[in-house]
Amino acid sequence: MRIYIVGSLNMDLVIRAARMPQGGETILGEGFLSNPGGKGANQAVAVAKLGGEAYMVGCVGREFGADLLETLQKYGVHADHVRRETDLSSGIAVIIVAGGDNRIILDTASNGRTDEALVDRAFADAKEGDYLLVQLEIGLPTVAYALKEAKKRGMITVLNPAPAAKLPQALYADCDWFVPNQTEAQFYTGIYPSDEKSIRKCAEKLGKLGVKNVLITLGTDGSASVSKGVFRRVDPVPAAAVDTTAAGDTYVGAFVTRLSEGAEIETAMHFASTASALTVTRRGAQCAIPLRAEVEAYAKEQGVII
């Protein structure tokens, strides 16, 4: 099955520091790194590196555009539906990494040009059973349009609703999978998911809005899903965190990849947890995402069935 990723492409400008600066404070950093990122592109690269057939749909700009396209192609992502804009910059993310955690400032720039016409061209070859994966770093009208058009074509839709934003109610009904982290889940439901009871309440509230299935990433507590009333909880895979930048994107891309291969939900969650665990042991975004063989080897080492 094809996996279409409609979303953002950014150049990440990363610097490490011993701690986060306070307001108005300048501190010394080290280890500056520029590398391709963006939630859409990260998830597309995760799909491709982990064995899925990834089709990226989005826009790059004047600055860094060639580099972003070259990187997608290097990792095996189909990039024919990435449009080059020449009158503004590609998306930029400025990232501070301290103590294994990160803070990000984002300029969407050319990502705002991803439009309905680009989605239509990309979906021309889409078939029933293909997957759509979207996030919220492009214009919300385009996200809503992509979800609706995908459902018309019988595609399976996955929304990673980040960064959190107010969504039109009609959009929820076009989501087969709604995949937030804990903070995002609280934003959309008013409930902080931490145990089975609160996670089920989140899923119930989202279900009333029209969402079919819910998967919540729980950070160091693993992940949990509710599908057709069945609750599943998967523990995290041990890892020494160095940089968490692309951990969530790796998880989502890995999960969708295994679903597209026909894996059971819990198996896909274990696979995603293992891939995400390996990602946080490395610096960067797309370059930190592991290959399928690495995930399989680490899962065997940790005794995880994927």
Sequential DSSP letters for the chain:
-EEEEE---EEEEEEE-SSPPPTT-----EEEEEEEE-HHHHHHHHHHHTT-EEEEEEEE-SSSHHHHHHHHHHTT-EEEEEEEPSSSPPEEEEEEEETTEEEEEEE-GGGGG--HHHHHHHGGG--TT-EEEE-SSS-HHHHHHHHHHHHHTT-EEEE---S-----HHHHTT-SEE--BHHHHHHHHS----SHHHHHHHHHHHHHHT-SEEEEE-GGG-EEEEETTEEEEEPPPP---S--TTHHHHHHHHHHHHHHTT--HHHHHHHHHHHHHHHTTSSSSGGGSPPHHHHHHHHHHHT---
pLDDT at 210 (0 to 100): 98
Spatial separation of the C-alpha atoms in residues 44 and 129, rounded to whole Å: 18
pLDDT at 15 (0 to 100): 92
The answer to whether 235 is a known catalytic residue is no
Catalytic member of 130, 174, 176, 249? 249
Cis, peptide link before residue 236, omega less than 30° from 0: no
Predicted structure pTM score: 0.93
User: How confident is the prediction along the chain (306 residues), in pLDDT tens digits per residue?
Assistant: 999 999 999 998 989 999 999 999 999 999 998 889 999 999 999 999 999 999 999 999 999 999 999 999 999 999 999 999 999 999 998 989 898 788 888 899 999 999 999 999 999 999 999 999 999 999 999 999 999 999 999 999 999 999 999 999 999 999 999 999 999 999 999 999 999 999 999 999 999 999 999 999 999 999 999 999 999 999 999 998 888 889 999 999 999 999 999 999 999 999 999 999 999 999 888 999 999 999 999 999 998 888
Closest CA to 299 of 237, 218, 243, 235: 237
Both tokens assigned to 113: 């040009």
Spatial separation of the C-alpha atoms in residues 42 and 48, rounded to whole Å: 10
* Domains of the chain: residue spans and CATH: 2-19+31-302 (3.40.1190.20)
